[in-house]
Structure 1
Amino acid sequence: MAQDGPVTTDTPYADLARAVSDRGEVLLRGRREEGAAVLELRVNGVLVMDTRETSTERALATDALALAASPRRVLVGGLGLGFTLAEVLADRRVEECTVAELEPALVGWLADGTVPHGPALLADPRVTVAVGDVADVLTSAPDRAYDLVLLDVDNGPGHLVHDANAALYRPAFLETLHRTTAELAVVWSEAESPDLVRTLRQAFGSAEAIPHDVRLQGRDERYWLHVARRPG
């Protein structure tokens, strides 16, 4: 339940909204940093993302869109705080974008303005929100339903938000990903995964890991896009 009142300098940390499901706790916290209000999303106590540093969430979309020839229909696996979705919508080639989000509370916080930029984002007529597991969304989708699929549900196969997400990196699901992807699928990770590249290559026929270098809070970091392309 959202709490009343903004984050102030008198409350450097404040719990703004909290939900508990069978998967555990989802928490939206506010803090002030250098005089600005910052939102952070935590799942089972682990910091997933915040609004101070959004370059990696944005880069998943911008880098993937740069590789795509015709991304008319896009699926984003994981809503987060909406920054990947925002970059997808900034591309005028995108006609439809489906977002699969496992946590209904998170969708609600963006829709009701607990996350201030959320209502305008979800009001875009190109957006459809599917509340549920991205694996279920793709399993029920027709063949080649999406031109571009972006998966950012964990920090990669070695850093799972939920243990059940391990299935998303195994051959059975990646075959489903191949079936429902018309052009390109991209999996975001904080570390390179040769095993994931190998499994994607088996499913798609073509896959590679592409580094993305970024400067975060005074330090150099490298993240990875694991890109699978349908040949031709």
Structure 2
Amino acid sequence: MTEPVEYVEIARAESERGELVLRERRVVDGPACLELRANGIFVMDNVETTTERALATEALGLVADPRAVIVGGLGLGFTMSEVLADPRVEVCAVVEIEQALVDWMREGTIAHGPAILADQRVKVVVADIAVALAEAGPATYDLVLLDVDNGPGYLVHSTNAALYEAPALTSARAILRPGGALAIWSADESTDLEAALRTVFDEAEARPHAVRLQEREETYWLYVGRVASDA
């Protein structure tokens, strides 16, 4: 028999992009699960964080010296936390478009938030990631991680589609140092994204990644664009 589930709203915010909700998912005799939703769409929770952490660990392995990293999308902070666990990282800039989500992390509405943001290497930028990429200085980062959606096939907001096209990818390349890389996590294979990366970067590849989610096997994808070390 399936356990009855209760949902308790923790926080809610409205912006021009719509509604952002933080809630607890509770079952009888079980731990509460924190869940983030945007316009009714599930974004992530704090129970299954395998994919968020894998994005960071695999991406960090792509670059010999990832001193400066920029993460597009704060979420519940698990990708950023994994980046900060790497002692090579000296700066971790996190770009998040929703001020409310940043506030929930800072104020402790998301309990683990204050400790993560207290790390002196963290710089939080409240902005659209596409704008932030376009405005960042050239050759200032070693690694760009995009964790805004679950890839081009699962957009949180329809306007995010442009992130996976050549102009935004070109902006990402411009801020990378020689030997740097862009990594994009996707829940589905996307030949269009791979093709776009190949038009912009010196090297591009799609890496399948097996994950186990709620007792089932899934294949997620890491899309990588590299800048040559002598660029």
- Partner of 2:215 in structure 1? 218
Instruction: Identify which of structures 1 and 2 has the higher relative contact order when contacts are C-alpha pairs closer than 8 Å and 6+ apart.
Output: 2
Give the 3-state SS of the residue equivalent to 1:158 in structure 2: coil
Q: Which whole-Å deviations, capped at 9, do the CAs of 1:138-180 have from their partners, x for residues lacking one?
A: 1111111110000011111111110111111111111111111
Superposed, 1:174-213 pairs within 5 Å as 174-182=169-177, 183-213=180-210
Q: Take 2:101 and 2:49, find their aligned partners in 1: how far apart are those partners?
A: 17
Q: Which whole-Å deviations, capped at 9, do the CAs of 1:90-128 have from their partners, x for residues lacking one?
A: 000000000000100000000000000000000100000
Give the 3-state SS of the residue equivalent to 1:36 in structure 2: coil
Instruction: Report the count of equivalent residues.
Output: 223
- Partner of 1:29 in structure 2? 23
Q: Which whole-Å deviations, capped at 9, do the CAs of 1:17-43 have from their partners, x for residues lacking one?
A: 000111000000112245212100000
Query: Could you tell me which amino acid in structure 1 is paired with residue 25 of structure 2?
Result: R
2:7 is aligned with 1:13: yes
RMSD: 1.3
Unaligned runs of 5+ in 1: 1-9
Q: Take 1:56 and 1:11, find their aligned partners in 2: how far apart are those partners?
A: 24
Give the 3-state SS of the residue equivalent to 2:14 in structure 1: strand
Query: Could you tell me which amino acid in structure 1 is paired with residue 186 of structure 2?
Result: S
Superposed, 1:57-206 pairs within 5 Å as 57-182=52-177, 183-206=180-203
Runs (4 or more) in structure 1 with deviation over 2 Å come to none
Q: Take 2:181 and 2:157, find their aligned partners in 1: how far apart are those partners?
A: 25
Give the 3-state SS of the residue equivalent to 1:79 in structure 2: coil
Query: Could you tell me which amino acid in structure 2 is paired with residue 82 of structure 1?
Result: G
- Partner of 2:225 in structure 1? 228
Q: Take 1:157 and 1:89, find their aligned partners in 2: how far apart are those partners?
A: 26
Query: Could you tell me which amino acid in structure 1 is paired with residue 212 of structure 2?
Result: R
Q: Take 1:169 and 1:104, find their aligned partners in 2: how far apart are those partners?
A: 23
Cα deviation for residue 11 of structure 1 reads: 8.5
Give the 3-state SS of the residue equivalent to 2:173 in structure 1: helix
